[in-house]
Amino acid sequence: MISRFLVGVLTLLLLGACREAPRETPAHVAETPQRQLAPAQAEANSAPAVATRAQQRLRTVARSGNIDHDVASLLLEHYRGTQELAAVELTTGRDLELRALADTLRREWQQESQTLGRLLARTHDTASEESTLLYQEFFHGVQAAYDSVTRYASPPTGDPDADFAAALSAHLRTGLLLVQEGIAHGSDPPLIALAHRFHHDQLHHLRQVQAWMSTHPNPTKR
């Protein structure tokens, strides 16, 4: 009886010690400012920020002096920006219609980027007075396309779907202007064929996103 009593007393003492032991928070978790970094990270990866970086990269595409080569470079970079915008919507967006559009854009990037890569690799420089003058005309049109983005840009709202739609609309408009310059001044038949397909597809997507925007009033900035 005594031994059982002692065992019971010791058990109660041990349980009490376990209840009273303080819970320690790991230092690296307590000191990590995750809540402070999250808004900045979200802003940097938002559709408006991604679209801005895509436009900046378009402006830095190297000029070769060959229209066909540069058209392929510009369209490849444009597709890359479209892919990044689609990835933002697929990660953060909630609207099923826009997510379906983003998935379509992602698949188009996978197909057309390979074709553009091959066209880019086989185009080469030409040097003549006529081609130089034509290139200057082409490049002037490209600069106008770059500058057009300021007319189409919308301030961010904080809503992932609305921001994606607005950023994609401006991005597609710029791409249409770029490809029109390529069609008007390019000479490589496979590239021109791709440019016409690009124009058709991007115009279709622009109409899709504009139709969505017309039925979804732009929310106020959060």
Burial class (CB in 10 A: 0-12, 13-18, 19+), 55: buried
Q: What residue segments make up the domains of the chain, in order of their start?
A: 39-215
102-142 per-position pLDDT tens digit: 999 999 988 888 888 888 887 665 554 456 888 889 989 99
**What pLDDT shows up at residue 104?**
95
Residue with token string 């953060």: 92
CATH 3.40.605.10 fits 39-215, yes or no: no
> How many helices (H) does the chain have, and how many strands (E)?
9, 0
CA distance 207 to 47: 19
Tell the burial category of 141 from Cβ atoms under 10 Å away from its Cβ (0-12, 13-18, 19+): middle
Q: How far apart are CA 152 and CA 68, in angstroms?
A: 27
Task: Give CA separation, 166 vs 13, 94, 149, 163, in Å.
Answer: 66, 15, 11, 5
Residue 29 has pLDDT above 90, yes or no: no
> Which residues fall within 8 angstroms of residue 51, CB to CB, at 6 or more apart?
81, 85, 167, 168, 170, 171
Is pLDDT above 90 for 150? no
Can you give the pLDDT at residue 151? 76
More confident residue, 26 or 42: 42
